[in-house]
Amino acid sequence: MRSLSYVHLAFRSVRAHISRSILAVTGVVIGIAAVVIVVAVAEGARAEISRQINSLGSNLLLVQPGAQVAGGVRQPAGTVLSLTTADALAIAREVPDIVIAAPFVGEEKTTISGDLNWSTLVAGVTPKFFEARGWRVADGQLLNDDHVASAAKVVVIGRTVARELFKGSDPLGRFVRIERSSYLVIGVLAEKGQDFTGRDQDDVMFIPLSSAKIFTIGRSQVNPEAVHTILVKTESAQSMQAAETAIARVLRLRHKIVGRKADDFRIQNLIQVAQTSDRAYRQFTSLVSTLAGISLLVGGIGVMNIMLVSVTERINEIGVRLAFGARPQDIRRQFLLEAVLLCTIGGLLGLIVGYVCARAIPSALGWPIEFNGQMALIAIACSSLVGVVFGLLPAERAARSDPAALLRSGL
């Protein structure tokens, strides 16, 4: 009841000097707006990363051929075709905690349908690949084991390919030409969007691994069983580390790599790759966080300044309140509450300004943003905290003022 009256009192006091109050909290407004932007971008980045991780499939390890060293210079990864389908089988058989080991070959090809052509990634896979990534078809069906066993000329296409090659007409039952062979479209994959490198994950088509090797991608002369990648899915996120070590051991044994000799393959954790790809966000957020910190500091000093002026101006009011029974702590509470109210108003304004600015980020910088209720709480809490911290000194000064000055000035 009484504290309610104090809030009422603080409101009246702020309202009495409305323009001065707004000017005083400008720093807080900017600071809180910056906080809102940081949180929106960070939340957006987090949502984006988790979306990407979901689209990559969880608990995935990517085993790829290593780099060839020619004359002391490392060639690009994949220059040695060291991995084979047999390796994939061995990994699946010998490494514990592994759900799937899916071999993969892929090459950029020009594909043709009717009078349209489109250059895209043609990948040879087994049904296990879709299982590992958790991908589904939007229309039709996925590749199955029979397709692989019979080296069937069937293809499952991504959404982008469907759009580019068939221009809106139904691709199911139509044919796509890859090199000299025609493939029957049996499925269209559900839309995936971009991955963390910005690559369009829908710009791809999948054919059976066997068909790819016979008709399309072509066998390596050196190693006919070679694959470009083995996709490994582990039981859980916890088992990934152990699986990585075990895969390395199995492959080193199979490839007869002993002692200090370097691996002829490399193992990547996709989630780690995705998580390290957000550096731009982090630079931006740390920059804006610094801005938020400085603005809140400056804003707090502004509020402190205006509160000190207010205490001086209202020395008579304070004296009267003391003379009629206010305790020093009553005065302290009144002025502290006023500073907090001032900053909270600034915080609310900052929330609005920050919201408006953050809304412009996706189109200006191309980053996703995300808003939530927690953000409003953080903004209000931050601004109130600024009010408490920078209101303490003026409130203390008010509480210590000398009521006897009332009579002396009247003399």
**CA separation for the pair 62, 81 (Å, rounded):** 15
Choice from 138, 149, 323, 360 touching another protein (CB under 8 A): 323
Cβ atoms of 8 and 16 closer than 8 Å: no
Choice from 3, 7, 12, 391 touching another protein (CB under 8 A): 12
Q: Which two tokens stand for residue 319?
A: 């004296």
By beta-carbon proximity to another protein, the closer residue of 191 and 313 is: 313
Number of residues that bind another protein (CB under 8 A): 27
Choice from 44, 300, 319, 368 touching another protein (CB under 8 A): 319
x/- mask, another protein, residues 277-316, rule CB under 8 A, reads ---------------------------------------x
Burial 98-127 (b: 16+ CB within 10 A, else e): bebbbbbbbeebebbbeeeebebbbbbbbb
By CB under 8 A, what part of segment 329-388 binds another protein?
330
Q: Is 325 a binder of another protein (CB under 8 A)?
A: yes
Choice from 75, 191, 327, 356 touching another protein (CB under 8 A): 327
Q: Is 321 a binder of another protein (CB under 8 A)?
A: yes
Nearest Cα residue to 25 out of 394, 384, 401: 384
Shortest separation between residue 315's beta carbon and another protein, angstroms: 11
Cβ atoms of 50 and 196 closer than 8 Å: no
Cβ atoms of 182 and 216 closer than 8 Å: no
Sequence-distant (≥ 6) Cβ neighbours of residue 18 within 8 angstroms: none
By beta-carbon proximity to another protein, the closer residue of 75 and 329 is: 329
Q: Is 2 a binder of another protein (CB under 8 A)?
A: yes
Q: Is 16 a binder of another protein (CB under 8 A)?
A: yes
Run of H or E including 147: helix 145-149
Give the binding site for another protein (CB under 8 A). Answer: 1-2, 5, 12-13, 16, 316-317, 319-328, 330, 402-404, 406-408, 410-411
